[in-house]
Amino acid sequence: MSPRIVELRTRILKKNDEVARTLRARFADQGTFVVSLVSGPGAGKTELLQRTLEALRGTLRVAALVGDLATENDARRLSASGAPARQIVTGSVCHLEAQMVADALAEWQADRLDLLFIENVGNLVCPASFDLGEDLRVALLSVTDGEDKPLKYPPLFNSADLFVISKVDLSHAVGFDRSAALRALESVRPGATVLEVSARTGAGMDEWLSELRRRQADKRTER
Amino acid sequence: MSPRIVELRTRILKKNDEVARTLRARFADQGTFVVSLVSGPGAGKTELLQRTLEALRGTLRVAALVGDLATENDARRLSASGAPARQIVTGSVCHLEAQMVADALAEWQADRLDLLFIENVGNLVCPASFDLGEDLRVALLSVTDGEDKPLKYPPLFNSADLFVISKVDLSHAVGFDRSAALRALESVRPGATVLEVSARTGAGMDEWLSELRRRQADKRTER
């Protein structure tokens, strides 16, 4: 990469960090726990999120923002959960930036949320370096993805706080090598929690929801 | 995006186009038919390529270049086919560029190939605008990817000449909606050929191999 590109990139990231810091302070103020989801395309972020919103909306005020280059499909799918959901259309940009989140929230009554989810654009590269002001970044690795994806895309997996192995109902059909996947995750992010979930069958959903509830309650207590 | 970024981007793409043009002329000179593969991560490019190299190497001089941010895993997998394969490690870059292809070929005895495959980095955004001098760009859509991925990532799917719906052995397990996928592909790239393949079971492999053989022979005849 040319030095000029590197310099511009550094400046963009610095600006993003400032906006993310402001967002994080505002979320802390409002007592909103913010969870972002990253993964490659098709790892099942939207499906997991839809089930999660359905399960939590009875007891917590939840909402979701979802990024895609084009279409409002995912916001439509998420709205079916009964929780508010908004699409961020990024055009040609392969990740969300903190400013896009700030803009989407500005047009929206989002100040009284317990839990806000941000679903990033499906991409294993671009979202890595962009802080969105989230409290928790969750990276999904689908059993259909290939066990070595964390080794091939270390920055993204390294930027996550928690891992979800998704679509585990397909493990047998695709010949998923669970220990190889766990080893790969452990090597890019030693010690991180790994949950194994199928949003479709519901397997592992209880552990995932408990983890979210616990972390959301912890943040509330800290205030 | 800022005007300066747009300007820089335009310059990078222009330079890439020049290198790609040189590559294309050289491939034409050498009678090498060049096929690139693009898709999101985990759509099965490497598996398809491995089976393809195995099937073709008896009758054609074939080889493969494969791009990833990190690891030489894929080149190792592809070499198991018995055909020569080389890894291009892109570092933090989320796509291949024509210059990377030129550099990899310069260090390599690749002037007497009938068919060269170039497997791009698994990414549904970045590779779209980078011409690699290929004759044929194939985009894979896995049945596990979600039928609306072409609508969500139009530039990439639009840049392809041929589509492969991959992992069709999993169609039933994932509840794949075939007509929705075909509609989505048709809408971003009307009239393009769509092949349906499982590299694992071999379903559709004959059609895929015939298509490659036919196009390779056509190029040879044109000289």
Alpha-carbon gap, residue B152 to A69, rounded angstroms: 6
Report pLDDT for A155.
94
Helices (H), A31-153: 45-56, 73-79, 98-106, 149-152
Whether the CB of B41 is below 8 Å from some CB of chain A: the reply is yes
Closest C-alpha among A208, A196, A138 to residue A171 = A196
Which of B124, B141, B166 is best to mutate for the A interface (most A CBs within 10 A)? B124
Mean pLDDT computed over A124-146? 96
* CB < 8 Å to B126, chain A: 94, 125-126
A42–B142 C-beta distance less than 8 A: yes
B8–A5 C-beta distance less than 8 A: yes
Report pLDDT for A149.
97
A149–B69 C-beta distance less than 8 A: no
Alpha-carbon gap, residue B196 to B58, rounded angstroms: 24
- Shortest distance between the Cα of B89 and any Cα of chain A, in A, equals 10
Report pLDDT for B9.
76
Alpha-carbon gap, residue B163 to A9, rounded angstroms: 34
Percent of chain A at pLDDT exceeding 90: 89
A146–B144 C-beta distance less than 8 A: no
Closest C-alpha among A7, A15, A8 to residue A99 = A15
Alpha-carbon gap, residue A109 to B32, rounded angstroms: 59
A152–B122 C-beta distance less than 8 A: yes
What residue type is assigned to position A129 of the chain?
S
Q: What is the pTM of this model?
A: 0.88
What residue type is assigned to position A82 of the chain?
G
Whether the CB of A144 is below 8 Å from some CB of chain B: the reply is yes
- Whether residue A1 is predicted with pLDDT greater than 60 in this model: the reply is no
Alpha-carbon gap, residue A197 to A216, rounded angstroms: 20
A100-114, A119-133, A186-200, B171-185: which range is least confident on average?
Answer: A100-114
Report pLDDT for A221.
85
Report pLDDT for A3.
65
- Shortest distance between the Cα of A145 and any Cα of chain B, in A, equals 4
Report the 10 Å Cβ neighbour count for A202: 12
Q: What is the pLDDT of residues A138-196, one digit of tens each?
A: 999 999 999 999 999 999 999 999 999 999 999 999 999 999 999 999 999 999 999 99
Nearest to B124 among A122, A155, A174 (CB): A122
Per-10-residue mean pLDDT, chain B, length 223: 69 92 95 97 97 97 96 96 95 94 88 93 94 98 96 95 97 96 97 97 98 94 77
Whether the CB of A149 is below 8 Å from some CB of chain B: the reply is yes
Report pLDDT for A11.
85
Are A62 and A116 contacting, i.e. CB atoms less than 8 angstroms apart?
Answer: yes
Report pLDDT for A2.
60
